[in-house]
A and B are shown apart, each in its own frame.
Chain A
């Protein structure tokens, strides 16, 4: 019983609800004088029985006098356009705001030029508008005009005309102004309506493609803005970055783009057979990946030795490659290695090809070059002569001799006869040889040749660069000796095992490197090309050799900087007057020229003999070395000997330990006295002057150099010329005493609008403009008073 009753009740309720919800058709049941406008509105429910204007006219019948009325009504019906529904309030507001902002920006930007000018002007005078220089007698001044009695009497009879009081205009605005205002209002409306219609239009667009493009454009725009912000205002950018991060977090939290929804499930079912749906799904996943991509940060705390262990390394690698999150990340080190390895393989293959090709040419080349060297003997002789000219001092001669002695005589001959051209040929060829894996015999020979060449090069450079340096001579000697040793070593190697190809090759390469050929690699002629003996190639080779020479010389320069810095200047002999009380010995010591000076230094030697046990220079150098060492940061050694490995004397600390437990001190900044010879500049940690130095970069400078340049000319009579001083100290703002500084009016701007208006409506506005001018003048006068 009860359920039934309930059912009935529910049904009733339902019915009554339905009846309430239905919008009733407006009806006019009773006649009344007041007709609600709402009842005339076109009903949504049904407009079948609606009375239209036409119906009413129809009722009038077809009379002639009604005809016009009919026509009119018809015309109205055809011409009227139904206004579109107004935009929703938020959208409309948005449009309004946008238009308002644009217009405000425009109006404000008008001032930008003026403001910038005022801010950058050397000096600004206030009040800005200079009034005319015309002197106008003020009221007070007028009071003091002396009048004769006659004048006074005349005034009594005929009082002078008072200036007419300023009459207020009937209208607050002139016609032009009103027109202008109306125009502006219309413009605003037009802008708004345009935007509104646009918004309506775009809102209706259903195209997915369109929206996708729009979204992409939007993100692009955002990225662009962010980049700009990064430059301009890093803090704001940081905030934005935070926002992005937050968005990413949201994305990670939600199940959007994760292919977990119903749609995705359906697609997944279809995916097996349908490539389209597979694509769509992949796209979805890609989107999610893109959105949840972590922004790149450098994790500096990851130590490299973590990856040392290969066992650990393998699983991490695999996991990394599998992980779709890392798909877009940077290529890992292993990848880079792999790439390099592949590249190397390719390079080797190329070489092999080349070697095969070159083998045929090799022997022929050899012969050719030999021939050439023979041809060049004439040139060499010339060259040697010039060399001799260059040898100015005895020291260099010594060098030459010594080096020659160390070399074999036969080698010496070849050495001397190797002209510039020939040498270059040889070195080039040697390179070729080394690269194309020749027989060991040939190879060693080539190495010898290179060393020879470098020897001669060095000699030349030596004779050119510094002739008188004793120590450098010694250096040179030792170097040549070293090279000799190396040569002999190579020879031994050869004897020991003929197949030590790779080894000797390595050695030769090392040799070359030591001779400064390593850096020259970039300058090598292209190997892939067949050997070309054209002039162009030769020139290039000449350049290459030159660079080698330079490198060698510069290297030596660096090695003993004291010599170059402290140029050893030949002492000048000054024939000064002798004092009276000098000993006879001194008088005898009347030196005439340098050689005598050198030989006649007996007494000096005697003098120094007394100080023999204290070599001052050596002591000073020691002191300097100690000072340098003291200021150099030391490595921190935390290794525990014997911990995790064998301990005891003569046991090396393992590489791993060294890497892990010895903290390398950062390289000390180069000392100021590094290349200065016998000079020590002691650098204080905290010199007192630092307290007084500027330790900040003031706005608006971005470079230390620029700020320092800005204070290069301090403002003061002592530092800059008087003329500049007066200009520099000119006050930025000048004001007149007692003058009120009015805010700037639009008169400061260039008036374009007015002119246009005048041109457009000259006739009717002529009067108005005049009127306005008059009004302005009046205002000015009023202000003056």
Chain B
């Protein structure tokens, strides 16, 4: 059984279980011989876990679901096509050749004991070059990586803003905006970034040229960019949230959250909601479509000091000044699945692509793994200055830290996704590819109206509307023509007024409305009660009426 696995996940299992390659190759040779004998080759079984990843749920109930024979056969044919899809996709995982990094320890060692210095000594040169420090003097910095993890923008509190390719250390631009900088954020490509300055949000290109000043986003504190919706979201010091569509340059919504100053804001990549942590220990989830949060969770008994969401949108980590760290299941909106008490309060949180959680406390970073199953410390690092921000770099096993005196990049093996989908995000994309990707992304842009708690809602039927539709169609047969309140516009002009004319036009309009109603009913193919029952005038016997039998209702 194991040798078969070997041929599928060659890298993974060999390192994990310690099988020697000789065994593997030997086994595979025997397999080839068997094929030569002319037997039918068995298909290599697929790992059920991987299969589960690609499954799309159960299909259509053909027996009951579709009455029409022809259509049933057609659907059956399509279902036959879709059935092996998951397995096919799972088999293609063989093409993901890159392996995730990890720290392996000998007996008596722990992963937390390794220092960056030791790591740098032991890794290859290119990886070692990814661990570096930038000593900068413009106050606590904020930072952001691009989606492909290639570029970095940092903004110092004292106005220093710099954008560069951090791998090659090639500087794109560096400037001082002569204002306090609260947050920085890349837009959809690495040629544009937004900076939350003292009063407003500015957009610069990678030359440092100011492209826009967004005065609608005033007193910004935090910035987020929703890549699939092309929305730039900003929170303000007065408790406002605003969304701006950067593809058309239009303000989508601007609202008051009534939460006071917003210091904690992240996006949920799964459903593009903004998670805002407030001083009442509540994390609320905001979409641009509603002036209320879609959901609220009481996560701590104190103010929320940091909040991070897993890239898959499944879990959320929150921390409070009471030194607690909690992991919540935000797809189910339940939890906490994990509850931990740290030795000092966590001020910064960040999730890596593979689910490592970095926790910043003062000048210390603690990295945890298995956050939702069994929280375990993985690595730790001490910076020389108090941290102001930390972010994992996508597609690189690197954690970026900013502090009062600059920026430092730290190696965290196994933090990032090893295999990238170049059609989605390409760390090595050239200019042409970037342009192409931009156009494609614009074509695939999702409208802001689609932002809601369950992003799969669009693939569902609006059952309530359907029900209502059916009910109203049923009722249509008994609906009277629309009542029109006809009040004439009084005109003093000669020949316009006059009761006769008013009555005439009233009649005409009524007739028109009636016709419209009839037509509507005819279109809806509803049977119309042609003869309306005439009520019989009840016979009156005058005073003797009281002796009549009382009528049943």
For the complex, is B18 an interface residue (Cβ under 8 Å from A)?
Answer: no
A87 cross-chain contacts in B, Cβ below 8 A: none
Contact of A724 among B64, B81, B298 (CB under 8 A): B81
Count of chain B residues with a beta carbon within 8 Å of a chain A beta carbon: 91
B66 and A706 form a contact (CB under 8 A): yes
B321 cross-chain contacts in A, Cβ below 8 A: 607
Contact of A681 among B75, B281, B294 (CB under 8 A): B294
B60 and A680 form a contact (CB under 8 A): no
Given contacts A569-B338, A700-B72, contact A706 B297 (CB under 8 A): no
Kindly state the separation between the CA atoms of A383 and B413 in the bound complex, as whole angstroms: 54
B281 and A572 form a contact (CB under 8 A): no
Interface residues of B in 87-112 (CB under 8 A from A): 88-89, 92
Given contacts A574-B341, A616-B280, A694-B462, contact A700 B68 (CB under 8 A): yes
For the complex, is B531 an interface residue (Cβ under 8 Å from A)?
Answer: no
Interface residues of B in 329-378 (CB under 8 A from A): 333-344, 359, 361-364, 366, 368, 375, 377
Contact of A577 among B85, B366, B450, B461 (CB under 8 A): B366
For the complex, is A254 an interface residue (Cβ under 8 Å from B)?
Answer: no
**Smallest CB–CB gap between B298 and chain A, Å?**
4
Given contacts A604-B322, A680-B295, A702-B67, contact A573 B457 (CB under 8 A): no
Contact of A710 among B75, B298, B460, B552 (CB under 8 A): B75
Residue of A nearest to B84 (CB): A724
Q: Could you say which of A186-194, A195-203, A670-678 contacts chain B?
A: A670-678
Tell me which of B64, B73, B322, B323 has the highest count of chain A C-beta atoms within 10 A of its own C-beta.
B323
Given contacts A684-B290, A701-B65, contact A693 B295 (CB under 8 A): no
B386 cross-chain contacts in A, Cβ below 8 A: 579, 581
For the complex, is B30 an interface residue (Cβ under 8 Å from A)?
Answer: no
A681 and B295 form a contact (CB under 8 A): yes
For the complex, is B71 an interface residue (Cβ under 8 Å from A)?
Answer: yes
Interface residues of B in 377-392 (CB under 8 A from A): 377, 380, 382, 386
Kindly state the separation between the CA atoms of A116 and B73 in the bound complex, as whole angstroms: 9
Interface residues of A in 602-640 (CB under 8 A from B): 604, 607-608, 611, 614, 616-617, 619-620
Q: A579-B362, A712-B459 are in contact. List 6 more A-B contacts (CB 8 A).
A: A575-B377, A578-B344, A581-B363, A680-B295, A684-B290, A687-B290
Tell me which of A574, A591, A617 has the highest count of chain B C-beta atoms within 10 A of its own C-beta.
A574
B368 cross-chain contacts in A, Cβ below 8 A: 574
Q: Could you say which of B141-149, B182-190, B463-471 contacts chain A?
A: B463-471
**Smallest CB–CB gap between B171 and chain A, Å?**
31
Given contacts A574-B343, A689-B449, A697-B461, contact A709 B281 (CB under 8 A): no
A303 cross-chain contacts in B, Cβ below 8 A: 553
Q: Provide a sorted-by-A list of 26 A–B residue pairs whose CB atoms are within 8 angstroms.
A: A122-B77, A569-B338, A575-B377, A577-B366, A578-B344, A579-B361, A586-B343, A607-B321, A617-B301, A620-B281, A679-B298, A680-B296, A682-B296, A684-B290, A687-B452, A689-B450, A690-B462, A693-B457, A693-B461, A697-B466, A699-B71, A700-B68, A701-B66, A702-B66, A705-B61, A709-B57
B340 cross-chain contacts in A, Cβ below 8 A: 571-574
A572 and B334 form a contact (CB under 8 A): no
Kindly state the separation between the CA atoms of A577 and B364 in the bound complex, as whole angstroms: 7
B460 cross-chain contacts in A, Cβ below 8 A: 693-694, 708
For the complex, is A161 an interface residue (Cβ under 8 Å from B)?
Answer: no
A582 and B344 form a contact (CB under 8 A): yes
B295 and A579 form a contact (CB under 8 A): no
For the complex, is B59 an interface residue (Cβ under 8 Å from A)?
Answer: yes
Q: How would you classify the secondary structure of chain B's contact residues: helix, strand, loop or mixed?
A: mixed
Contact of B88 among A689, A705, A721 (CB under 8 A): A721
For the complex, is B289 an interface residue (Cβ under 8 Å from A)?
Answer: yes
B282 and A572 form a contact (CB under 8 A): no
A673 and B333 form a contact (CB under 8 A): yes
For the complex, is B453 an interface residue (Cβ under 8 Å from A)?
Answer: yes
A727 cross-chain contacts in B, Cβ below 8 A: 81
A616 and B301 form a contact (CB under 8 A): yes
B65 and A678 form a contact (CB under 8 A): no
Kindly state the separation between the CA atoms of A306 and B549 in the bound complex, as whole angstroms: 15
Contact of A607 among B89, B322, B550 (CB under 8 A): B322
Kindly state the separation between the CA atoms of A572 and B85 in the bound complex, as whole angstroms: 42
B69 and A116 form a contact (CB under 8 A): yes
Residue of B nearest to A122 (CB): B77
Kindly state the separation between the CA atoms of A137 and B447 in the bound complex, as whole angstroms: 60
Residue of A nearest to B92 (CB): A721
Interface residues of A in 279-324 (CB under 8 A from B): 303, 306, 312, 315-316
Contact of B527 among A238, A597, A673, A689 (CB under 8 A): A238
A673 cross-chain contacts in B, Cβ below 8 A: 295, 333
Residue of B nearest to A728 (CB): B81
Residue of B nearest to A238 (CB): B527
B295 and A682 form a contact (CB under 8 A): yes
A576 and B85 form a contact (CB under 8 A): no
A574 and B322 form a contact (CB under 8 A): no
Question: Would you give the 0/1 interface string for A76-110, flagging 1 where the beta carbon is closer than 8 Å to chain B?
Answer: 00000000000000000000000000000000000
A704 and B461 form a contact (CB under 8 A): yes
**Smallest CB–CB gap between B466 and chain A, Å?**
5
Kindly state the separation between the CA atoms of A687 and B452 in the bound complex, as whole angstroms: 8
B364 and A704 form a contact (CB under 8 A): no
**Smallest CB–CB gap between A769 and chain B, Å?**
37
Kindly state the separation between the CA atoms of A571 and B375 in the bound complex, as whole angstroms: 11
For the complex, is B121 an interface residue (Cβ under 8 Å from A)?
Answer: no
A713 and B65 form a contact (CB under 8 A): no
**Smallest CB–CB gap between A510 and chain B, Å?**
37
**Smallest CB–CB gap between A678 and chain B, Å?**
4
A235 and B65 form a contact (CB under 8 A): no
B88 and A571 form a contact (CB under 8 A): no
Kindly state the separation between the CA atoms of A312 and B74 in the bound complex, as whole angstroms: 62
For the complex, is A691 an interface residue (Cβ under 8 Å from B)?
Answer: yes
6 tightest A-B contacts by CB?
Answer: A579-B362, A678-B298, A695-B465, A700-B71, A120-B73, A693-B462
For the complex, is B425 an interface residue (Cβ under 8 Å from A)?
Answer: no
Kindly state the separation between the CA atoms of A581 and B322 in the bound complex, as whole angstroms: 17
A580 and B65 form a contact (CB under 8 A): no
B362 and A582 form a contact (CB under 8 A): yes
For the complex, is A652 an interface residue (Cβ under 8 Å from B)?
Answer: no
Kindly state the separation between the CA atoms of A768 and B458 in the bound complex, as whole angstroms: 67
Kindly state the separation between the CA atoms of A422 and B427 in the bound complex, as whole angstroms: 74
For the complex, is B262 an interface residue (Cβ under 8 Å from A)?
Answer: no
A678 and B469 form a contact (CB under 8 A): no
B301 and A608 form a contact (CB under 8 A): yes
B453 cross-chain contacts in A, Cβ below 8 A: 681
Kindly state the separation between the CA atoms of A66 and B24 in the bound complex, as whole angstroms: 114
Kindly state the separation between the CA atoms of A699 and B335 in the bound complex, as whole angstroms: 42
For the complex, is B250 an interface residue (Cβ under 8 Å from A)?
Answer: no
For the complex, is A40 an interface residue (Cβ under 8 Å from B)?
Answer: no
A575 and B295 form a contact (CB under 8 A): no
For the complex, is B116 an interface residue (Cβ under 8 Å from A)?
Answer: no
For the complex, is A720 an interface residue (Cβ under 8 Å from B)?
Answer: yes
**Smallest CB–CB gap between B468 and chain A, Å?**
8
Contact of A703 among B61, B294, B301 (CB under 8 A): B61
A361 cross-chain contacts in B, Cβ below 8 A: none
Contact of A723 among B69, B88, B366 (CB under 8 A): B88
B338 cross-chain contacts in A, Cβ below 8 A: 569, 572
Residue of A nearest to B451 (CB): A689
